[in-house]
Amino acid sequence: MFDRKGLPTAVTVYEVGPRDGLQNESVILPTKVKVDLVRRLIAAGLPAVEITSLVRPDLVPALADADELLAELAPILTSARTAVLVPNQRGLERALKSGVKEVAVFASATESFSARNINNSIAGSLAIYRPMIQQARNAGLNVRGYISMCFGDPWEGAVSVDQVIVVAESLFESGITELSLGDTIGVATPNNVVDLLDALSARNIPRAMLAVHFHDTYGQALSNSLTALQEGITTIDASIAGLGGCPFAKSATGNLATEDLIWQLHGLGISTGVNLSALVETSRWLASKTGLPLRSKTAIAMSNDENGAK
């Protein structure tokens, strides 16, 4: 029998599909469809949804309608935990005008990816984020920090825990309220997850302020998530239908599918507040809008069951 000792009773599933998922898909959805997607995700019970990125439209065309999207979603920005990614001061100003209550900033553990992703060094990006984070906190917003390439980088290879710690400590010193650790190219295995979490704990960074963000390139996302749960992590990022990857890291494939994560969590007796059937229906609906095939194994299996497949 599986030993559930040490597992949390409840987990926050942080949905990144509308932002991290759609930014890397070739299909550009109409704003109305995106509005419907966010509303469906919240209605299905997802407790946190990252809506979009306030980045230059020419850099990420799929999210070029960010301001319009936020205007359409204004009624729910304060009634549900919703967030937007802000890459710079201009993005933060747009976020503050929108009325959103949470923003996110994106740093890298490697210089190669930092240069390609945000056209800046690690130190340069952190220097830009520091006053932004403080301004957002002074305005009453929560600030989520992301660190990409926490385990491996396609240009630099394996990433040491010390590289991640330097960035993590800087972000927390600047005032972030949560930090998401990203396996951007999906190369981590459970031992890597434990090593990084232990190293962060040794620097007095509490696990209650950490989240994990796994990609499934090598099929390890669920096993890494389970390991993180056993290590005390209670916030896990996931993307509806497994959408996304990373437009600046070509070896990265899709995110951990939200449906697959929910199936595992519910099977472990862990509360999420999410209606899995409604989530799978949203996944099917999204597939019909994008023309993309279902990538979530849970969504595929449940759809087959409903169609009478054995």
* Residue from 41, 246, 256, 276 carrying the catalytic annotation: 246
Token digits of residue 124: 């340069």
d(CA 287, CA 53): 22
Please list the helix, strand and coil fractions of the chain in percent, rounded to the nearest 5, in that order.
45, 15, 35
Q: Angle at which helices 31-43 and 276-290 pack, to 10 degrees? A: 170
Burial of 136 from C-beta contacts in 10 A (0-12 / 13-18 / 19+): buried
The answer to whether 246 is a known catalytic residue is: yes
User: CA quadruple 184, 190, 195, 201: dihedral positive or negative?
Assistant: positive
Q: Report the 10 Å Cβ neighbour count for 75.
A: 9
Torsion of CA 256, 68, 42, 103, to 10 degrees: 70
Cβ burial 243-275 (10 Å sphere, 16+ → b, else e): bbbbebbebbbbbbbbbbbbbbbeeeebebebe
The alpha-carbon radius of gyration of the chain (Å, integer) is 18
Catalytic residues: 246
